[in-house]
Amino acid sequence: MNKERMTHLWRSARRRFQRAPKRSLALLVLAVLVFYSVSQGVYVVRAFEDRHWDVPAHVYAAPIELYVGLELDEETLAATLAQTGHQQVPVLERPGEFSATSGELEIWTRSFPFWDGEEPSRQLRITFDRQRIASIVDATGALVPLVRLEPLRVGSVFKAHHEDRVLIEPDAIPPSLIEALKAIEDRKFDRHHGLDFAAILRAAIVNLRHGEVRQGGSTLTQQLVKSYFLDGRRTFSRKFREAIMAVALELRYDKDVLLHAYVNEIYLGQQGTRAIHGFGLASEFYFAKPLDRLAAHEMALLVAIVKGPSFYDPRRQPERAIERRNWVLTTLAAQGVLHEDTANEAREEALGVTARAGMALRYQPAYLDLVRAQLGDDYSPEDLATQGLRVFTNLDVTIQANAERELALGLTRLAAMPGTDTPDPALSEAELSESAAEESPLEGAVVVSRPMTGDVVALVGGENAAPGDFNRALDAKRPVGSLIKPLVYLAALESGEYTLASPLRDEAIDVDMPDGTVWSPQNFSLESHGEVSFVRALAESYNQATVRLGLDVGVERVAALFERLGLDAVPAVYPALLLGAVELSPFEVTQLYNSLANGGDRVPLRAVRSVTDANGEALKRYPLRIRAAAEADAVYQLNQALVQAVDRGTGRSAHRWLPPNLVAAGKTGTSDDFKDSWFAGFTQDHLAVVWIGRDDNTTTGLTGSAGALTVWAPIVAGLPTTASFDPLLGDSLEPSWVDYESGLLTRRGCGDAVLLPVPPDANVPRRACGIGVTVRGWLEGLGDR
């Protein structure tokens, strides 16, 4: 072999050797890309199978029940129907509509699967007479004894990421929405396999020019992948991963499946920590009505928001939103999706979104906190967040709305009139808002229950509470002050040593404490009142008389009542407990007072009534659990003293708001340095507890009567049914006329006589009825005791 040949062979071998690492590297890179693509494809398909049907548990308010004789007028029912998503129309055409004429109302109800069976859809005519329902007939003219309307959905139980959605079934997706999405977001959706290369090329040129990701070019499938699995970072690596996942989904699933997932998954807004996903929920969130009821301009706005829910937020950025919506309408008309005349008319429409995000009557984050807590004993977080359960609660949307409004109005009133003992109830909301120089630093909480059942019908965790906000009704544990005094007096009545007529000493007292200090409680007025009646001491909230009584009965006996009446534990036993040196939440106070309002029977407060699966099959009912917690006759006597507290004691200013002749029982509470203002009170049907304070625990300058009472009374006055507190008198008690100041037995009309229950065998002295007795009072009192 000659030298040239050898040289040629050597050079060829060297070139092959030099190229080998490059080929190997290329093959290695290719293998890595193939492995990465396959692994990402497997991952996305599995994750999609696991997640794309996840639906959080939907939580519903108590259904509205209509029946002949119900105290309800036409205007109130029409307003309630509008609040619950029904549309008022001139002529009924489909379910979910109603029309109102003078003296009657027509409804086309929606069918709904309740826990005890399906409520059918039907057309009804309701007539009214004297503020009551006079008749209910169906389309055939047959009388209908009872109608349950579809309950209002008030929220969902999410996973940790707080995603909420209303699942829209494939056959319920409006065709106009599908056509609009394709026209605006992905014109080649029906032809591509996950990627639109022309759009990607256009975006790539823009992005390379700027050295960063500025434009997407994403298909609907890529948007679905991003919403499901990826974060919002705009990087080349994330876009590459998004493309691989999109192709994998397109290879595995039909287009209809992907569109269905997109409609239910895409992110469309935010309310606090609550993420609004899917067009079904977005329709309710922005327009307070179902997706299939949207007009052309409303549907176009939802499609417009897809591009940037924050940037085009119609409540925060209405100019941007309307410009984007009108561009969508123009594009739809240009592509033949929408008729030109319809698009022109739609462009002239206002945005039409509701004033408040989340629709105050439709989403109740504070109440949902209670629902979650009570469901936690029976269901795992995973089941609640993924199985589409239906949770039926006791929330009364009318009472809830009233409580929210009166708390907000009351806080504004108090901020506008600092230091005023009883703000003027005649001031309008607008006048009060104008008089407040800035947003009130005061906060508040409200809980309303039905004592006999323990149903929590309303719960307000703070003014304008949003998802994720601190829930003061459940979690704000604050000193309760005099609100706890009824437990001291109940312990005394249960002992058998005291009656409402018993004399108590309201005099200075020094209590030796274990640490060697001396506790010398004072009355609010800094004055002592000498010997007073038992009923007066409680009604007028005398501290010194209360401490003397509590020490005589025993602080341990008082402390034990906390647990007996419904709390989880007995508080620390020390003398200051007698004047409310214990921290409780408004919900815990409600549990204590609920047992008092229920005559001494303890009924655990409950938010949840029943739970069904996604198909309407009942899973669990939450029946009443009731047990005796305190002696009935002792509680009866105590409650009559609390009636006097509202009539003539520290709660007397409530009658500026309450209906005439309404009998209510209640008690004020004020913590040290006026940091907390409380009122708890009840009628025959409802109990309401109100707390007002500041989150930084600084002084409010408000007593219980100057603050919380001015919110409590309007709430009670606005209840749909308000019956006077009128419990049954026990056999071991006898109504007797007692002198309010001294506790001596007397006659009606004699001095300051009040009718109170007293054990017939009680050794109560009688006072002589002399000076100051009118002839009429003397005649009325003949024979009375």
Q: For 278, phi and psi rounded to 5 degrees?
A: 85, 155
Q: Would you place residue 53 in the very low, low, confident or very high pLDDT band (cuts 50, 70, 90)?
A: low
Neighbours of 500 (CB within 10 A): 28
Q: Say which residue, 617 or 537, is predicted with more confidence.
A: 537
Q: In 294-376, where does DSSP find H-type helix?
A: 296-305, 318-334, 340-347, 365-375
What is the tens place of the pLDDT at every residue in 135-165?
999 999 999 999 999 898 888 887 655 667 7
Contact 473, 460 (CB under 8 A): yes
pLDDT at residue 547 is higher than 90: yes
Residue 422 is predicted with a pLDDT of 47
* Dihedral (CA of 653, 658, 659, 661) sign: negative
Q: Say which residue, 188 or 199, is predicted with more confidence.
A: 188
Mean pLDDT of 54-76: 87
Residue 83 is predicted with a pLDDT of 73
Q: For 71, phi and psi rounded to 5 degrees?
A: -75, 95
Distance (Å, whole) CA 114 – CA 390: 9
pLDDT at residue 9 is higher than 70: no
Residue 45 is predicted with a pLDDT of 66
What is the tens place of the pLDDT at every residue in 105-115?
999 998 888 88
What is the tens place of the pLDDT at every residue in 664-673?
999 999 999 9
3-class SS of residue 612: strand
Instruction: Transcribe 681-695 into DSSP letters.
Output: EE-SS-EEEEEEE-T
% of the chain residues with pLDDT over 70:
82
- Angle, in degrees to the nearest 10, between helices 175-185 and 296-305: 40
- Angle, in degrees to the nearest 10, between helices 555-564 and 543-553: 90
Q: For 118, phi and psi rounded to 5 degrees?
A: -80, 130
Mean pLDDT of 483-491: 98
Q: Which helix (H) or strand (E) holds 123?
A: strand 123-129
Q: Say which residue, 361 or 779, is predicted with more confidence.
A: 361
Residue 29 is predicted with a pLDDT of 53
Beta-carbon-side half-sphere exposure of residue 201 (alpha carbons within 13 Å): 3
Supply the mean pLDDT for the chain. 85
% of the chain residues with pLDDT over 90:
54
Burial of 449 (0-12, 13-18, 19+ CB in 10 A): buried
Cα 459 versus chain centre, distance: 6
Say which amino acid occupies 784. Answer: D
Q: Are strands 390-393 and 608-612 parallel, antiparallel or unpaired?
A: antiparallel
Instruction: Transcribe 165-217 into DSSP letters.
Output: -----GGGS-HHHHHHHHHHH-TTTTT-SS--HHHHHHHHHHHHHHTS-----
Sole residue written with tokens 């994720």: 468
Contact 668, 679 (CB under 8 A): yes
Residue 209 is predicted with a pLDDT of 67
pLDDT at residue 761 is higher than 50: yes
pLDDT at residue 532 is higher than 60: yes
Residue 164 is predicted with a pLDDT of 73
Residues 6+ apart with CB under 8 A from 530: 505, 506, 507
Q: Say which residue, 650 or 250, is predicted with more confidence.
A: 650
Contact 603, 625 (CB under 8 A): yes
Contact 135, 126 (CB under 8 A): yes
From residue 126, give the alpha-carbon distance in Å to each of 80, 132, 604: 14, 10, 37
pLDDT at residue 351 is higher than 60: yes
From residue 357, give the alpha-carbon distance in Å to each of 160, 297, 395: 21, 19, 20
Burial of 527 (0-12, 13-18, 19+ CB in 10 A): exposed
Identify the active-site residue in 185, 345, 741, 780: 185
Distance (Å, whole) CA 408 – CA 464: 8
Please give the structure tokens belonging to residue 25. Answer: 């590297």
What is the tens place of the pLDDT at every residue in 203-236?
667 656 656 444 556 888 778 777 776 555 556 6
Please give the structure tokens belonging to residue 451. Answer: 């004592």
Distance (Å, whole) CA 494 – CA 512: 27
Active site residue 732: no
Distance (Å, whole) CA 183 – CA 340: 15
Contact 758, 501 (CB under 8 A): yes
Residue 432 is predicted with a pLDDT of 47
Residue 214 is predicted with a pLDDT of 45
Mean pLDDT of 411-418: 84
Residue 10 is predicted with a pLDDT of 58
pLDDT at residue 565 is higher than 90: yes
Q: Would you place residue 471 in the very low, low, confident or very high pLDDT band (cuts 50, 70, 90)?
A: very high
Active site residue 482: yes
What DSSP state is assigned to residue 143? Answer: B
What is the tens place of the pLDDT at every residue in 583-641?
999 999 999 999 999 999 999 999 999 999 888 888 888 888 899 999 999 999 999 99
pLDDT at residue 78 is higher than 50: yes
Burial of 623 (0-12, 13-18, 19+ CB in 10 A): exposed
Residue 117 is predicted with a pLDDT of 85
Residue 103 Ramachandran class (φ > 0 left, ψ -120 to 50 alpha, else beta): left
Residue 428 is predicted with a pLDDT of 54
Neighbours of 496 (CB within 10 A): 11
Residue 426 is predicted with a pLDDT of 53
Please give the structure tokens belonging to residue 438. Answer: 């800035």
From residue 85, give the alpha-carbon distance in Å to each of 105, 177, 359, 698: 16, 21, 11, 42
- Angle, in degrees to the nearest 10, between helices 340-347 and 318-334: 170
pLDDT at residue 439 is higher than 70: no
State the Cα torsion 267-159-366-466 to the nearest 10°.
Answer: -30
Residues in the chain: 785
Identify the active-site residue in 156, 227, 482, 736: 482
Q: Say which residue, 39 or 559, is predicted with more confidence.
A: 559
Residue 783 is predicted with a pLDDT of 34
Contact 404, 426 (CB under 8 A): no
Sole residue written with tokens 């022109």: 344
pLDDT at residue 177 is higher than 50: yes
pLDDT at residue 661 is higher than 60: yes
Mean pLDDT of 89-101: 89
State the Cα torsion 461-466-467-473 to the nearest 10°.
Answer: 0
Residue 399 is predicted with a pLDDT of 93
Lowest-pLDDT range, 167-176, 282-291, 357-366? 357-366
Residue 710 is predicted with a pLDDT of 97
Mean pLDDT of 554-564: 96
Q: For 644, phi and psi rounded to 5 degrees?
A: -65, -30
Residues 6+ apart with CB under 8 A from 278: 165, 166, 167, 168, 263, 264, 265, 266, 268
Distance (Å, whole) CA 222 – CA 243: 7
Please give the structure tokens belonging to residue 295. Answer: 């007009």
Contact 109, 124 (CB under 8 A): yes
Closest CA to 500 of 271, 742, 332: 742
Mean pLDDT of 392-397: 94
Distance (Å, whole) CA 87 – CA 298: 15
Contacts by 408-413, CB closer than 8 A, 24 or more apart: 408/463, 408/464, 409/714, 410/444, 410/692, 410/710, 410/711, 410/714, 411/440, 411/442, 411/443, 411/444, 411/463, 411/692, 411/711, 412/436, 412/440, 413/710
pLDDT at residue 170 is higher than 90: no
Residue 639 is predicted with a pLDDT of 97
Burial of 106 (0-12, 13-18, 19+ CB in 10 A): middle
Q: Say which residue, 531 or 3, is predicted with more confidence.
A: 531
Q: Would you place residue 247 in the very low, low, confident or very high pLDDT band (cuts 50, 70, 90)?
A: confident
Distance (Å, whole) CA 278 – CA 283: 9
Lowest-pLDDT range, 387-396, 413-422, 536-545? 413-422
Please give the structure tokens belonging to residue 91. Answer: 């002529």
Distance (Å, whole) CA 609 – CA 620: 9
Neighbours of 234 (CB within 10 A): 12
Instruction: Transcribe 538-569 into DSSP letters.
Output: HHTT-HHHHHHHHHHH-HHHHHHHHHHTT-SS
Residue 55 is predicted with a pLDDT of 73
* Top mean-pLDDT range of 198-207, 229-238, 320-329: 320-329
Residue 771 is predicted with a pLDDT of 41
